[in-house]
Structure 1
Amino acid sequence: MEPMCLNLCVFSAILLGILYLFFGAFQLVFKDVYGFDLWQRGLCFMGLFVGMVFAILSDPIWRRNYMRLERNYQNSTDAQDEFQPEWRLPPAILGGPLVTIGLFIFAWTTYPDVHWIAPIIGSALFGAG
């Protein structure tokens, strides 16, 4: 019944739904627009992978931030067992704009006269978000 947990779950569900839509969109975009073969279309998923790896590698930064927030809270209130789910929000605050920017780049660069790397860069930004 925690509203913050509900919001984080809905946010994650929407992002996973969009990620699954990428699986179908990649096949259409890179086959019909750019004329890629099957193995080349499979390699296009590397953009998502690279973005997600960069996001995973940033986890120590977010853990330090979480520990800092927890320490500041404990110092100010002397409470040891209190957990605030809002302390998990800073990565989502950065990830939200990355998701939006990545989707716009992917959608607005799927034309034959635009280089094929541009939609992959957009998917990498989405993956990082």
Structure 2
Amino acid sequence: MLPTQTAADTAIATPAGEPALPLELLELELSLDGFSGDEADFADAVRMAADQVGGDFLFDLPASGLAEDCRRIAALRVPQGEEGALAVVFALLDAEGAAIRVETPDETMKDLKRFADAFVDVLQRI
């Protein structure tokens, strides 16, 4: 008997070989898709998008080489899976400051993910 895959576990394929996003992150990506601000508006746009999906805005910082084609990075916690457990994801403002993409942490961002997890731990203790 094969395990059943729920809609929440299904990844949405994206064009041009971009990584697929789980269904929960698709809503976040779509809410950021119409971003028409500038670098100064980035944090507010990401904060509102996180609120719309029931997530938390943690922090944002200059990319400083942490990711390719990126000016700023924001760390968020968003619900994932059927249980709605919160997971860290990153919203990245592109180098032109015109578009925001959402990425799940990968090997290149492992240190930033650890920092975000430590940030959450500190907040939970306060």
Larger relative helix fraction: 1
Q: Which has the larger Rg?
A: 1
Larger relative strand fraction: 2
| TM-score of the aligned structures, taking structure 2 as reference length | 0.28
Q: Which has the higher contact order (CA 8 A, sep 6+)?
A: 1
| TM-score of the aligned structures, taking structure 1 as reference length | 0.27
